[in-house]
Each structure stands twice: as structure tokens, then as C-alpha cells.
Chains A and B, each alone.
Chain A
Amino acid sequence: MSQHNEVGKIGEEIARKFLEKAGYKIIEQNYKTKYSEIDLIVKKGENLVFVEVRTKVGEHFGTPEETINNKKMRKLRGNAVAYAIIKKWNDSFGIDAICIVLKPDYTVERLNHYENIIS
């Protein structure tokens, strides 16, 4: 279990750096409430974006993309709406996903940023 969390944390860090480099402002990281957990909440210009980060070491047991299923997407949407309501955000928001595959030495094999995965 600890290894799983470790990989996840590494992935989130990589994702965070990636987004910062791409001009996003980090608002929250690992936002946990009694309702939900959101990996990254960022802002680019006037756009509020909720980012789900999925990381895997190697793709032998499946791609990180595969772990985002319908149920998860509905949950993400719900979390996003809940946050937006609490923070009284009256503009639009988007939900992105960042999927990272790491090499055995934990360096990045590939990183894919999927924008607006829920429409």
C-alpha cells in the first residue's frame, strides 16, 4: 500500500511541475474535504480546472488511462461541483486528467494531458 501511495505522490508532483511550466496557477493540491479528494485545482486565466492525476510504473498491468472509468468520472464531476459551490465559483470550470507512465527508476516514460475529459 505504501508503494502505491508513493507512486501517486511522485506522479502528482510531476503533474504539478508540468502544469506550472504550462502557465497554470496552482490553487490547491490534494484538496481533501469530508466530501472528496481532488488531486489538483489549478487556474489558467479565468478558467478553473480540476485535475485528476493517474500514475503507473510501466504499462504491463494496464495503462493509467484505463483506471479512469465511468464511476470515477461521475465522482470527479460531483467533487468539482461541490468545490465550486463551496467556493462560490460562478464561472465555468473544466475537468482534466494527466496520465503518467514512469520507468522503473521513476523517471517519466510519458505524460499525457487530457483536457476536458467530461463534457
Chain B
Amino acid sequence: MDKVIKIEDKEYPKLLKEIGNDAPKKLYYKGKWNSDIFENCLAVVGSRHLTSYGKKITEQFVTEIAALGITIVSGFMYGGDEAAHSATVRIGGRTIAVMPCGIDIIHPEYQEGLYNEILEKNGLIISELEGKFLPVNWTYARRNRIVAGLSKAILIVEAGLNSGSLITAKYAKKYGRKIFAVPGQITSEVSKGTIQLIKEGAQVATEPGDILKYYNLSPVKTSLTKQNLALSKEEQKIIEQLKREPMEADIIARTLNVSVVKIGATLSLMQLKGFINQESGKYYVN
């Protein structure tokens, strides 16, 4: 017995109905249907070729937003969608995954763990298609309209030009929903799409608060405690350098004209004390 909500049912999500003729006549689902999950939805879409920057941003934003009770809607694709769903379930929030295939298939199938977690944490899996309908290129675009249709606003973290994420943004625009885009490096392929959106009028989002405001919620002002241990002279010099520009060990050694033996030991200790971190080979101040 398929679980299905028809457009004429009173449980059918209001916002989705508002898109008019485009609205799916039937919604198959897995999980426990609960109308309040649709009250405050934010679509979070991101590139399949998500970079580590994109992943970090998605996690940071989604963690705070979902923690305040907003439902995260996405498409369960690997990359940006996966990061959004994962961050939500990790914090115990609710997320809706809209599938581009029949309700009885998990696609991509290796994300089965995440699929089950979404349901465990009171989320929903939704599809317009029944049974074991396999995904094809047009089912993705159709799915995107549902993602946009369910949500008050959409957040795009990374997107290439002509990507699926931009299609979802287009739908959001069509349905009059608010569009938030995160700027990235202008040379990055996966930021070209988000930058285009910004040029076309999307709102720039650089912190979760930018989006929470739209939902009339105030962001958490809390942050991690800063260390207040004393810094040695060498450590101070290094911090000054890194504040100007994150750099690799070799370059720090060269710039400060200190042997890399000493620098290496100092950098390790500073990392352990929490003053600096290393990412992508470069050290930066915390």
C-alpha cells in the first residue's frame, strides 16, 4: 500500500499548491506525514562537485538553521544535497529529501545509510513518481521544481553555470521565493553559478543570520571560547604573519628566516594549543 498524498487532500503542503498548475498531483512518501514539517522550509542545494569550502559552509549554515527548527529540503544527490541532509540529521533536525525517481528506489543507492537516518529523525522522503521508476535526465528537473515549491526560500552554496542547482533557483524565482547565494572565489568553477545569481539579484548570504532573519529568527550569538594562553615571541611573530596571509610551513620559515626545524616544532605545538589550524597545506589563525 503506497503512502500517497493527493493534491486535493488537506494535508497537501500549502506552499507547493501555490505554484499552480505545475504542482504535482500526487506525492508518494516514506516516513510519518506531519503537516508541521512543511511550515518553515528552506531549500538547500549545492553542486554535485562540492568543494571542501562548499562542504564546510553548507555544514555551518545548515547546523545553525536546522537547530532552530527550520526544515531543510533538498534532492538527496551526492555533493551539496548530501551535505545538507547529513548536517541536518547530525544535529537532530528534520529534512525532506525529494527523489528524482520512484518512491521505492534509493538513488544514489550507496547513500542508504543517510536515507534511513532521515526517516529516523522524523524527516520525509518524497517523490512524484511511484514504484521503482528509474531516474532519467528529465526527472531531475521536475524534482527540482518540487524542492523549490515546498520552500519559502532557497540557499545555493555552490553551483556551476548551467547546473541543476541553477535550475532549482530558476523555479524558486518563478514561484516568487527568496533566493540566497553564497559567494565563493571568482576563479572557482562551482562559484560561477552562485555569482551569476548574485548579479541577477539574489541576496548574498555570508552567515546563517542572513537567512534566519528572513524566517524571523535570530541567530545564535554563541561562539567557541577563545584561548587565552600566553604566546611566546616566536609564536606571536607567526600569528602576525598568518593574520596577514595563511601560508605553508616552508614559506613561514623563509619569510621569518628561521630554520624549518624550529618552525615545524613551533607550528605543531601551536596547533595542539588551538591557536592555529592547518588546511589544504596552509596554516591559518583560528
Give chain A's interface residues, CB within 8 Å of chain B: 33-36, 47, 74-75, 77-79, 81-82, 84-85, 89-95, 116, 118-119
Where chain A touches its partner, the secondary structure class is mixed
B40 to nearest A CB, angstroms?
15
Determine if A85 and B220 form an interchain contact, defined as CB atoms under 8 angstroms apart. yes
Establish whether residues B67 and A119, one from each chain, have CB atoms under 8 Å apart when the complex forms. Answer: no
Task: Choose one: B90, B226, B227, B286; the contact of A75 (CB below 8 Å).
Answer: B90
CB distance from A77 to the nearest CB of B (A): 8
Complex partner residue of B224 from A34, A75, A89, A95, CB under 8 angstroms:
A95
Residues A84 and B222 in contact in the complex (CB < 8 Å), given A36-B92, A75-B90, A79-B91: yes
- The answer to whether B274 has its CB under 8 Å from any CB of chain A is yes
B284 to chain A, nearest CB (A): 11
Q: Which residue of B lies closest to A49 (CB)?
A: B225
Question: Roughly how many angstroms separate A85 CA and B91 CA in the complex, as a whole number?
Answer: 12
Min C-beta distance of B31 to chain A, whole Å:
15
Per-residue interface assignment for chain B, residues 87 to 103, with 1 indicating a CB less than 8 Å from any chain A CB and 0 otherwise: 10011110000000000
Residues of B within 8 A of A94 (CB): 224-225
Report the minimal beta-carbon distance from A117 to chain B, rounded to whole angstroms.
8
Of the listed residues B67, B68, B221, the one surrounded by the most CB atoms of chain A closer than 10 A to its CB is: B67
**Given the interface contacts A34-B92, A75-B90, A119-B286, does A92 sit within 8 Å of B67 by beta carbon?**
no
**Pick the contact of B90 from A33, A74, A84, A85 — CB < 8 Å?**
A74
Cα of A91 to Cα of B222 in the assembled complex, Å: 5
Task: State which of B59, B68, B93, B222 has its C-beta within 8 Å of the C-beta of A74.
Answer: B59
Q: Taking A47-B225, A116-B225, A119-B224 as given, write out 14 further A-B residue pairs in contact, using a Cβ cutoff of 8 Å, ordered by the A residue number.
A: A74-B90, A75-B90, A78-B63, A78-B67, A82-B67, A85-B64, A89-B222, A92-B225, A93-B224, A94-B224, A116-B224, A116-B274, A118-B224, A119-B227
Are B274 and A84 in contact, with the CB atoms below 8 A? Answer: no
Is there contact, CB below 8 Å, between B92 and A33? yes
Q: Are B222 and A81 in contact (CB under 8 A)?
A: yes
Known A33-B92, A75-B90, A116-B274: A81·B225 in contact at CB below 8 Å: no
Q: Smallest distance from the beta carbon of B208 to chain A beta carbons, Å?
A: 10
Can you list 27 A-B contacts with CB-CB less than 8 angstroms, sorted by A residue number? A33-B92, A34-B92, A75-B90, A78-B63, A78-B87, A79-B91, A81-B64, A81-B220, A81-B222, A82-B67, A82-B91, A84-B220, A84-B222, A85-B67, A85-B220, A85-B222, A89-B222, A90-B221, A91-B221, A91-B222, A92-B222, A92-B226, A93-B223, A95-B224, A116-B224, A119-B274, A119-B277
Q: Would you give the shortest CB distance from B264 to chain A, in whole angstroms? A: 20
